[in-house]
Amino acid sequence: MSTALPLIVRHLEEADYHDTWQKMRAFTHSRQPDTADEIWFLQHPPVYTLGKNGKAEHLLNPAEVPVVNVDRGGQVTYHGPGQIVVYTLLDLNRLKIGVRGLVTIIEQTLIELLAGYGVEASAKREAPGVYVNGAKIAALGLRVRKGCSFHGLALNVDMDLEPFSRINPCGYEGLEVTQLKKFVDDVQISDVIENLQQRLVEKFSINKLDHE
C-alpha cells in the first residue's frame, strides 16, 4: 500500500476464543477514522466455530469440544494448539482495498510463506483458503463492518488434526486437512509466527508499533 499507516501487532499467546471474539467486536465497533490498524497473533484452546451462514449438519461429532456460533463468513472450522490464528483488524477504506482484495492478499502472503519452507501451495477462488495438493493448510474467515475487517486466518503448523475428522471442514465433506509439520520436520511455530508477521506488516503498513 502506498500510504504509510501505523500498525500495531499484538501477541496474545493462548486465548479463549469467545473472549477474543468479543474484544474484536468491541474494537471494531469503537474505532474511529484515525484508529490504528491492529494484527493479533494467538492460539486458541480446542474449539469449533460455525460461521454466520454455517450449517449445523457439518458438525458431525463435536463430542467434548465447545462449539461457538460466530459472525464471520464461512462454515465450520476447528482451532487448537499448534495452529497460528491471526486476526486482521484493518480499515479497508483507508487501505483502499475491498474484501476480495483482502482475501487475495492474505492467501498470497500464506502461499509465499509456505514457499519459503519449500512447500508449494495454491488458492481456490471458489473456496477461500490455502491448499497443498488439494488438502487445506490454512482457512480464512472474515467479517467487515463499516469498512473495517475483523476475524482473519488460521494456519495449521504443528497440531492434532484429529478434530477436523469430526466435521466437514469449511462445509466440504471429505476435505483433507494438512499442516506444515508434515512437510518440515523441525518446524518451530515461533519462527513461523515471526516470518508471517514480517510478511503481513510489509503488506499492510510501512510503519509498525510492536506491542508484545
Which neighbouring-strand residues pair with 140?
A: 153
Q: Distance between CA atoms of 49 and 30, rounded to whole angstroms?
A: 24
What is the distance, to the nearest Å, from the Cα of residue 109 to the centroid of all Cα atoms in its chain?
A: 12
Longest alpha-carbon distance in the chain = 48
> Is 148 known to be catalytic?
no
What is the distance, to the nearest Å, from the Cα of residue 52 to the centroid of all Cα atoms in its chain?
A: 16
60, three cell numbers = 458431525
- The single residue of 106, 113, 170, 192 carrying the catalytic annotation is 170
Strands laid side by side in the 83-91 sheet: 122-123, 130-132, 135-145, 148-156, 83-91, 37-43, 7-14, 209-211
Q: Distance between CA atoms of 85 and 93, rounded to whole angstroms?
A: 24
What is the distance, to the nearest Å, from the Cα of residue 34 to the centroid of all Cα atoms in its chain?
A: 25
Phi, psi (5° rounding) for residue 121?
-125, 165
Region label for 13, one of left (φ > 0), alpha (ψ between -120 and 50) or beta (otherwise): left
Positions annotated as catalytic residues are 170
